[in-house]
Amino acid sequence: MAPTAPTPSTEPFEAPEPAEALARLGMPMADAMRTQRAVRRLHLEPVSHDVLLPLLELSLKAPTSSNTQDWVYVVVEDRAQKAQLAKLYRKLYRLFNPIVSRQARKDPKEQRAIAPGQWQAEHFEDLPVFVIPCYKRNIKHRPVGRPQISVASFYGSVYPAVQNLLLGCRAVGLGASLQTLPIWYIPTARRILGLPRSMNPVCIIPIGWAKGNYGPTKRRPIGEVVHLDRYGNRPFLGWTSPTTD
């Protein structure tokens, strides 16, 4: 698919001043957690470093395995870099989008659900900024002996920070989404970003001022998910939250 021109903004959008945006970090935590979701439709105006850097800094308050902190954020704003990442994404997108579109053909609800992802894929290089969390592989992460432990500690050293970042974005009014498909072919992603072989890009988070809506998100009921003491014992089926309005 040929890259498309940036969508002309139909409504004027003015980004908040950084101080105003950062003041929104005081929103109630439960509200942020309840409404944070994958926001894929973004305004194409740039995101100030005065907003982004404090969010990145806060996100890194997250834990890492053995407190290794072997993380790197590659922040991509350069148009040519973004175009290369878009090219990589579209190689895969061209394969799966027709399948997804066909499946959604007769279901208007499903069509509405996939539309923001399609918009995003078509405008990938126009999105204001990508944050690409990377983590250094070390001896502890080698898949020998008990691979499930090393893999868990590798990814588990990245995703807590990613969730912090998503929550921070939600609070200040930025749209963000955790994505893995755009960097599906790691060697190419690594080459585009100039990463050494030891550094693995884990996901990509496109960020911009939110055009799409936040939640509340729909998730499985807690009573279905919580098993007490042993798998299969679910005494909380039917439980309702005192914090949900």
Ligand X SMILES: Cc1cc2nc3c(=O)[nH]c(=O)nc-3n(C[C@H](O)[C@H](O)[C@H](O)COP(=O)(O)O)c2cc1C
CB of 224 to ligand X, least distance (A): 17
Q: Looking only at residues 73 through 112 of this chain, which bind ligand X when binding is defined by CB under 6 A?
A: none
Q: Looking only at residues 117 through 156 of this chain, which bind ligand X when binding is defined by CB under 6 A?
A: 117
Q: Which is nearer to ligand X, 83 or 181 (by Cβ)? A: 181
CB of 178 to ligand X, least distance (A): 4
Q: Which is nearer to ligand X, 157 or 179 (by Cβ)? A: 179
CB of 131 to ligand X, least distance (A): 14
Cα-based distances in Å from 183 to 49, 190, 206, 221: 24, 9, 12, 32
Q: Looking only at residues 155 through 214 of this chain, which bind ligand X when binding is defined by CB under 6 A?
A: 177-181
Asked whether the beta carbons of 30 and 47 are under 8 A apart, the reply is no
Q: Give the residue, chosen from 34, 37, 43, 90, that forms a contact with ligand X under the rule CB under 6 A.
A: 37
Q: Give the residue, chosen from 38, 92, 100, 115, that forms a contact with ligand X under the rule CB under 6 A.
A: 38
Q: Is 217 in the site for ligand X (CB under 6 A)?
A: yes
Q: Which is nearer to ligand X, 172 or 182 (by Cβ)? A: 182
Q: Which residue has the tokens 């957690």?
A: 33
Q: Which is nearer to ligand X, 22 or 93 (by Cβ)? A: 93
Q: Write out the residues near ligand X by the rule CB under 6 A.
A: 37-38, 117, 177-181, 217
